């Protein structure tokens, strides 16, 4: 019996998951996706070990105030508050998101580059989706590799996905 899951994560984590060659994989292509600002910007997938609510409030504040990535970087360099120190990963995530959007939008809208010619500028945190189909045995191998760290310490996002997959796969296992 084969099971199919829609996995919604970032490009970096998806690369790790796509290494399972026994899975049949259909992934969203970035080749013709237009992520320029007038289309909503690059969709990012927040890593599971970051404070999602903090990032959302920070992005909202930055967007409403019209702060660009250069100003934001200067602000971070000159602020020594405990909040910034406590949430340094989240602040850097927002900074790189703004910077990536700036580069991508400049290339697409400012220099009229083709979408498939500028996808190199998309960061690994760009959101992507893929359908993975595999046998129960292959899913169990995937789960062992990611949850039990049988091939080294798995990334937290890959562990999270493996746990979510396990919730469904164990129902189909023959005991």
pLDDT in tens, 93-111: 988 888 898 899 999 999 9
Please state, in angstroms and rounded to a whole number, the distance separating the CA atoms of residues 50 and 155: 13
* DSSP symbol at 120: G
Q: How confident is the model at residue 1 (pLDDT cuts 50, 70, 90)?
A: confident
Q: Can you tell me the mean pLDDT for 20-39?
A: 87
At 9-22, the pLDDT tens digits run: 999 999 999 987 78
The whole-chain average pLDDT of the chain stands at 87
Task: Give 76 or 13, the one with higher predicted confidence.
Answer: 13
For 101, the enclosing helix (H) or strand (E) is helix 88-105
Please state, in angstroms and rounded to a whole number, the distance separating the CA atoms of residues 108 and 102: 10
Residue 65 has pLDDT above 90, yes or no: no
Residue 166 has pLDDT above 70, yes or no: yes
| 3-state class (DSSP) for residue 141 | helix
Place of tokens 């992507």: 128
Q: Are 20 and 144 in contact (CB under 8 A)?
A: no
Task: Give 157 or 41, the one with higher predicted confidence.
Answer: 157
Q: Can you tell me the mean pLDDT for 165-171?
A: 91
> What is the pLDDT at residue 175?
52
Q: How confident is the model at residue 79 (pLDDT cuts 50, 70, 90)?
A: low
Q: Can you tell me the mean pLDDT for 147-157?
A: 84
Residues in CB range of 159: below 8 A, 6 or more apart: 146, 147
> What is the pLDDT at residue 80?
62
Please state, in angstroms and rounded to a whole number, the distance separating the CA atoms of residues 168 and 58: 35
Tokens of 138: 């292959």
Tokens of 32: 């013709």
Instruction: Kindly report which listed range (24-28, 101-105, 141-145, 169-173) carries the lowest average pLDDT score.
Output: 169-173
Pairing of strands 2-10, 127-135: antiparallel
> What is the pLDDT at residue 60?
82
> What is the pLDDT at residue 112?
95
């Amino acid at each position: 019996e084969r099971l199919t899951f829609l996995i919604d994560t970032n490009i970096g984590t998806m690369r790790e998951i796509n290494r399972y060659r026994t899975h049949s994989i259909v992934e969203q292509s970035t080749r013709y996706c237009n992520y320029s600002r007038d289309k909503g910007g690059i969709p990012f997938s927040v890593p599971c070990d970051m404070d999602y609510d903090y990032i959302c409030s920070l992005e909202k504040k930055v967007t409403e105030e019209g702060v660009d990535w250069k100003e934001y970087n200067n602000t971070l360099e000159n602020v020594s508050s405990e909040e910034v120190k406590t949430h340094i990963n989240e602040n850097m995530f927002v900074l790189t998101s703004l910077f990536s959007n700036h580069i991508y939008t400049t290339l697409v809208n400012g220099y009229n580059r083709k979408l498939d010619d500028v996808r190199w500028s998309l960061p690994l945190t760009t959101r992507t989706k893929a359908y993975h189909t595999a046998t129960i045995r292959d899913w169990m191998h995937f789960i062992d590799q990611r949850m039990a760290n049988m091939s080294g310490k798995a990334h937290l996002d890959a562990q999270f996905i493996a746990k979510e997959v396990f919730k469904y796969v164990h129902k189909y296992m023959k005991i």
